Structure 1
Amino acid sequence: MVKRHFRYSASILKTGQLLGALGALMAFMLGSLLLLELPNLSEMNPAQIYRDDRGNVHFELQILAIVSLIGALVAAANRKVKVTLDSETLSIKIPKLTGLGLMGLTTGEHRIPLHTIRKIELTPVTGFRNMAQAIQQSRLSLVTDSKTYLLQPYNFLRVGGPDHRMGLAGAFGKPKARVETMISEAPLVRALSEAAIEAHVTSTPVDRTGPLAKHFNLLKHRGMVVQLSLLAGLGLYALTDYLLLTNYLILGDLPMWPFVSVWLLASAMGIRLGRGAPGAEKLGVAAMLCIVAVAATYPGIQRYTLIVSPEPAPVAYKMTETAHFEHSSYPAIDQRSSNIEEYWQSLEPGTDVVFPVHKPALGFALVDMSPVYEKSRAFYRARK
């Protein structure tokens, strides 16, 4: 029997369709950046493609870079997953860095003589609303004389063979009647059923909505519904007000007590509202509520400062060096990393520049940089 080699794929989508979906997502993110952040194309400074008005790299690009890095690391680890099958042995090599162990799957290096395999068990999961989730949660169990090995049946592709994975349309289809057939016809399952002659293949469908759900419906628990509503509301507020406040610069150190207080309040509220729910769901939703609440605190304390001090006071700062301003009663304003360097260089050191400052309400002041950005745009238009 010729050796058959199998490689692992975290995705159940065909490579072309997966790349197309990722490309569409990146195009959407970049398109959103262009629509929301860039000025009129005739006034565009190339640096504005990746930096905001304060000289910081756009938040969307930071997230995209982090996601891309994580994806590259996962892909590199997954390439080391190998399964080899010959006439006598099944060899498994799954590094722990892949994270499959966190899903309860087998990791490490194993050599399994085929004659020791007593049973090949398939566990199709049919409770999900789409095929992608059902396939990912389905399992292949190899029961031997001394140990049981747990793998994902559909995610192994035969090296040199056709790509058996599905397209986007199939991934979102209903899995109820198809998932069992699809995993039983997966290349690794078929190869094992042919090679392990002494083992018999069984299939036991399981109707569930996830490894932690245990048929618990969050929407039927009043406390969970309240928490989910708070998550949606706070998340929407945090995103909206963050975008509306991008022209404001914080002067001074942020106080920690609002963040700590919100964290403690959200924790207590989450645990209280989650009473009666399973532990995993209660802790998971409470943790998400804490994270979103703390994220919403940042624009919240800025908004509070604007409410308490709605009218800014003009404060004359002295430019001690290019793009660096000082005042005896307020923290320094450092714009040396901004993307309007030429504008700042046009001002002589020692020049007084007036900034609209909202007086401190929680220990820090806010500077409205909109007038500065307007002057800088006029400066660059005049240079053309």
Structure 2
Amino acid sequence: MNIPKLRDDGLAVVQNDPFDGASDYKAENATLDRLVVQKDRGRDLRFKYQMLHEIGDSPPKKRWLIKNVVALGETSAWIAPPGGLKSALLAELSFCVAAQRDWHGYKSKNSGGVVYFALERADLVKRRLRAYLVRSSDDIGGIAPIAIVPGMVDLMNAATVKDVVALIRAIEEEGELVYLVVFDTFAKLIAAGGGDENLAKDQGRVFANVQRIKDAVGCHVALIGHTGKDEGRGARGSNALLGDVDVMVTVSGDEIKTATVTKANDMPEGPLFSFKSEIHEFGTDEDGDPITVNIVNGDEVSVQSAPKPSEPKLSTNQRVMYRLLVEAGSGGLATEEWNEFAKENGITTKQRHYEARMALKDKGLVREYAGRWKCSG
């Protein structure tokens, strides 16, 4: 058989096989194609790739900003009802990333610049960040690499990505690489382009552009959002948000708030920490009235001390269905799996299964994504 090989200049030559049997034309061309592909790897391809065996013995490590919470190259969503202190919490996170401070017991691993896009209430964001700076000025010399960008941003439009990246590059010229980008709020990113947060396709366009920003900059993107009318059912609008983020954190509670991971790709779900708010006073205005802002209190509050809401009343079928899902663990159950377990426990009809599932979902106890059901808490 004739064996094709590549010369140093990339041209193919054919050598005679000492066992000169029938020529296998397909085998020759397959071998040649493989050699050409190997040669092309050094060329300027639009899409880059890496072979599995080239990765090495150690898998790629997470590049944490705050260990076990936020990492470079990922997207997080932080949701709460209006007045739930989600923006105050992200302002505190921004300051900790910029000043390399541990955050509620989670270790700071890398520090860098922060760009906070305040699509609403920009003055409030400035006051909060200023309060954190004033309280820490003795330690960091009164400087933190945080840029606040007021005004609307249309991330429905792919052309906006170029403007956002150009702005980030300009901010980096101030001296620090940007590691965290915050968009407050996610709904405004869609509304600015005339989109509807209830439509998965509109959310998808925004997430595609968020990914383009991450690809260009290598930062973490944090999105601030609202819960719906029923807090237990998660973020307002299409549930596409749940599938597109790496981490989703829900903030709930009254006097004591608890930040809880409700979805994560490769970290445990459950409570992160609890916290309280406090009033920071800057001084007085021209009328002698105090100038204040509500911020997150840095004192440690144990998760156990946070009051738990009263448990909703459940029917017998609902208790059985809920217990089966709890026993399934973090992997949850597919609908049919859940139905089969319910049959084994005396709930025999699909109608009863459906009614119990929907009741548990309406009470905020369970959630469904991509055909699998999991406990919400």
Give the TM-score taking structure 2 as reference length. 0.23
More helix by share: 1
